[in-house]
């Protein structure tokens, strides 16, 4: 029955105006991976497809089926001039990325001067994923999460060979591996050109120094309540980094109270961030801070917005829930996010 359905669907392809393009024989695919180490740059290329002869800048590459016996061999790949892959050794290139390990917190700091697609950490025995995309010029602190590495566009078989090679080179020491967003070298000019040419670039840091990770700037919930003077219905954010700004923010929070409590005296370099959820029809609404972290000149605060449970006994008066957070630094902007990371409100420093 499944075969009949498949034939019926294939018969519809011409009717839908679609055309399946297949490579002409003989053809081949090339999968390249750059291994950029402190001592050398290596380019590995695996070939798949029909046995044939390929020219590379005057060199003849004979692609033909081979057998195992090499730790670099990949099942299904053609051998190149009697070797399981094409391999070229080149001088080392500038790393542009580095990692440091903090033994007290167990975190890893990554500084990137080139865009990264993903970062991985090997502690000498097990692999950990650090994170995904990291823009050039950024520094980020990661808490390693146990996970086997999956590099770029490598096939599972190629990935296993590369991982085994990296572990052998680590020799039980700490190592960081960064998948670059773009390769370092231009692609090879094979003649004839491959049907598919995949490229992956890995920067390998063979020694990860032990160093203290930078401290996360402090923050603390200063005040939280349900009866702000703010009477708008949309969420509002406010960032005060001057005495005048703090006074205005305090007025939004306590201007309806008689007499209002005195505003706080912030330490030098500290700021006060406020989030006002807006008017609510009853009590039972509350704002809680889940986490806070800086990224460049922006400080992010992730919130949980609580609502009254169905059937709960709450006041039927209008309420205006809010939270005030003291920041141990002076960002240029604050962004309040919900529990799923969606933007609720943002404010520029007053």
Q: Which of 180, 186, 185 is nearest to 201 (CA)?
A: 180
Q: Which of 312, 311, 293, 315 is nearest to 302 (CA)?
A: 293
pLDDT of 104: 73
pLDDT of 1: 47
| Token output for 116 | 């990264």
- Report whether 320 contacts 277 (CB < 8 A): yes
- SS3 category, 90: strand
Residue 123 φ/ψ region, left for φ over 0, alpha for ψ in the -120 to 50 degree band, beta for the rest: alpha
pLDDT of 22: 66
Q: Which parts of the chain have pLDDT scores under 50?
A: 1-13, 15-16, 213
Q: Which of 81, 31, 25, 75 is nearest to 50 (CA)?
A: 25
pLDDT of 12: 46
pLDDT of 15: 44
Q: In whole angstroms, what is the distance from residue 128 CA to residue 145 CA?
A: 5
pTM: 0.57
Q: Hey, what's the torsion of the CAs at 250, 256, 261, 267, to 10 degrees?
A: 0
- SS3 category, 38: coil
- SS3 category, 6: helix
Q: Hey, what's the torsion of the CAs at 312, 313, 318, 319, to 10 degrees?
A: -70
Q: In whole angstroms, what is the distance from residue 300 CA to residue 337 CA?
A: 7
Alpha helices for the chain (secondary structure H): 2-15, 156-170, 243-254
């Amino acid at each position: 029955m499944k075969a009949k359905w498949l034939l019926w669907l294939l018969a519809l392809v011409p009717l839908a105006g679609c055309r399946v393009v297949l490579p002409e024989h003989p053809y081949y695919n090339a999968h390249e991976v750059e291994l950029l180490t402190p001592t050398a740059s290596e380019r590995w290329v695996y070939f798949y497809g029909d046995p044939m002869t390929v020219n590379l800048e005057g060199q003849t590459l004979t692609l033909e089926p081979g057998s195992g016996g090499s730790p670099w061999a990949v099942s299904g790949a053609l051998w190149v001039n009697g070797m399981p892959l094409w391999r070229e050794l080149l001088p080392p290139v500038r790393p542009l990325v580095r990692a440091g390990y903090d033994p007290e917190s167990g975190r890893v700091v990554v500084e990137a001067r080139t865009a990264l697609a993903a970062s991985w950490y090997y502690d000498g025995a097990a692999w950990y994923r650090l994170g995904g995309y990291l823009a050039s010029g950024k520094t980020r602190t990661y808490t390693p999460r146990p996970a086997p590495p999956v590099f770029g566009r490598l096939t599972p078989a190629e990935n296993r060979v590369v991982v085994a090679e990296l572990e052998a080179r680590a020799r039980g020491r700490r190592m960081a591996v960064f998948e670059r967003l773009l390769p370092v070298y231009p692609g090879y000019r094979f003649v004839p050109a491959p049907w598919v040419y995949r490229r992956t670039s890995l920067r390998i840091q063979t020694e990860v120094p032990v160093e203290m990770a930078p401290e996360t700037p402090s923050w603390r919930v200063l005040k939280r309540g349900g009866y702000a003077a703010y009477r708008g219905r949309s969420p509002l954010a406010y960032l005060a980094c001057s005495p005048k700004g703090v006074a205005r923010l305090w007025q939004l929070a306590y201007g309806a109270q008689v007499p209002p409590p005195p505003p706080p005296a912030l330490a030098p370099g500290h700021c006060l961030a406020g989030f006002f959820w807006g008017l609510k029809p009853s009590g039972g609404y509350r704002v809680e801070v889940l986490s806070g972290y800086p990224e460049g000149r922006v400080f992010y605060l992730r919130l949980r917005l609580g609502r009254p449970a169905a059937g709960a006994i709450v006041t039927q008066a209008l309420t205006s829930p809010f939270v005030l957070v003291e920041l141990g630094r002076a960002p240029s902007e604050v962004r309040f996010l919900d529990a799923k990371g969606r933007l609720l409100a943002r404010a520029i420093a007053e």
